Homo-oligomer: A and B are copies of this chain.
Amino acid sequence: MWKKQLFSPGPTPVPERVLLAMAQPLIHHRDPAYEGIFQEVREGLKYVFQTEQDVLVLASSGTGAMEAAVVNTLSSGDGVLVVRGGKFGERWGEICEAYGLRVVPLDVTWGEAVDPMLVERTLEADPSIRAVLVQACETSTGVLHPVKELAEVVRGREGTILVVDAISALGAVDLPMDRWGIDVMVAGSQKALMLPPGLAFVALSEKAWGFVGRSNLPRYYFDLSQERSSQQKNQSHFTPAISLVVGLRESLRMIREEGLQQVFRRHELLARATREAVVAMGLELLAPEAPSPSLTAIKVPQGVDGAGLKRSLEEEFGLVVAGGQGPLKGKIIRIAHMGYFQPADVLQVIAALEVQLKRMGYPIELGKGVRAAQEVFAS
């Protein structure tokens, strides 16, 4: 009955022109027409990754590209520093452990960003650490980690690379890979790139490609050297997810048309409006100090049932937000504003949230949060 509107931090809404591009009859991946599309996609990805390196396209979810980042650059027994400040930080650790790496965890309170000084001290105490693995945006908390500062810490160390999961950050947050010196950057299709899930991306710096030559972990489907030599010829080593790549051309065109810096400004604006609204409603942000422009995590106030709040927003208004994961289950709701989002979307979700909170007994003056968001857009 309702028009379902996705406010989940992946999948995110897919623009109509992308959906229609993907609904065209399939073309063959060895057809020159496809190779032309893939060439344009490769250029567009370099633009969004802000890199001169090849951005490799994989047919997998983002986790596949995280695994590819690990198994292509490291060797069994290597020490790795894993920033664990949420579910996806934990995932880095799980992948590394599955491949027999020695995980040095740096645990960060969920909702806080990592302190680059702590990373620096850990690297100084244990110079054998070969990689620092972190999220740009930790999707489970909405925290933006200080990637630029982490890159400064790692850059001078010959034997260490910085591996950044930018799955829910790329295309929402300014992450100039080459300029900052990020060594490995991973992304996925279903976030700010405005596509369905099923594609993942990974780019490596020259330094990281040097690590690939010395890595001894087993890999086949996620062998990035093979992929690179195929993709430099605008092909794929294995059958690509053709329809998603065709859709990606369209969403990358949209990003180019808007301009990457304007895309970032739009995300920052939407995020700020959301945060101001939340504060005006008397609610608490989970990550007030380091909020991501991709999504906003809001603490569910005492006395309100978090799962019920999420469910009722969908049932009463058709708006699909996300709840919390792991220790935050039932304690937060997460509202995404990455990708195909505009100010009216924020006004809508804030207004509906006010109604549901009031219905659930939370003392709120209807319209107060909406007004705070309106003021951000009016200024």
Contact = CB atoms under 8 A, between A and B. Distances in A.
Given A60-B64, A98-B218, A197 B242 contact: yes
B26 A23 contact: no
B239 A62 contact: yes
A59 interface: yes
A358 interface: no
A80 interface: no
A198 B241 contact: yes
Contacts of A220: 63, 67, 94-95, 98-99
A293 interface: no
A313 interface: no
A6 interface: yes
A14 interface: yes
A22 B25 contact: no
Contact of A28 (B6, B29, B67, B238): B6
Interface size class, chain A: 35 or more
A60 B243 contact: no
Contact of A198 (B27, B63, B100, B198): B198
A287 to B, nearest CB: 22
A98 B31 CA distance: 30
Contacts of A217: 218
Interface string A1-31: 0001010101101100001101111111101
What secondary structure prevails in chain A residues at the interface with B?
loop
Contacts of A13: 25-26
A61 interface: yes
A219 interface: yes
- Identify which of A25, A29, A100 gathers the most chain B CB atoms within 10 Å of its CB: A25
B31 A25 contact: no
Nearest to A33: B4
A146 interface: no
B241 A61 contact: yes
B241 A196 contact: yes
Contacts of A99: 218, 220
A11 B23 contact: no
A320 B242 CA distance: 16
Nearest to A244: B198
A219 B28 contact: no
A330 interface: no
Given A28-B320, A62-B238, 8 more contacts: A11-B29, A11-B242, A14-B243, A19-B23, A61-B240, A62-B239, A64-B238, A241-B241
Please give me the 5 A-B residue pairs with the lowest Cβ-Cβ distance, nearest first.
A198-B241, A23-B23, A196-B243, A98-B220, A61-B239
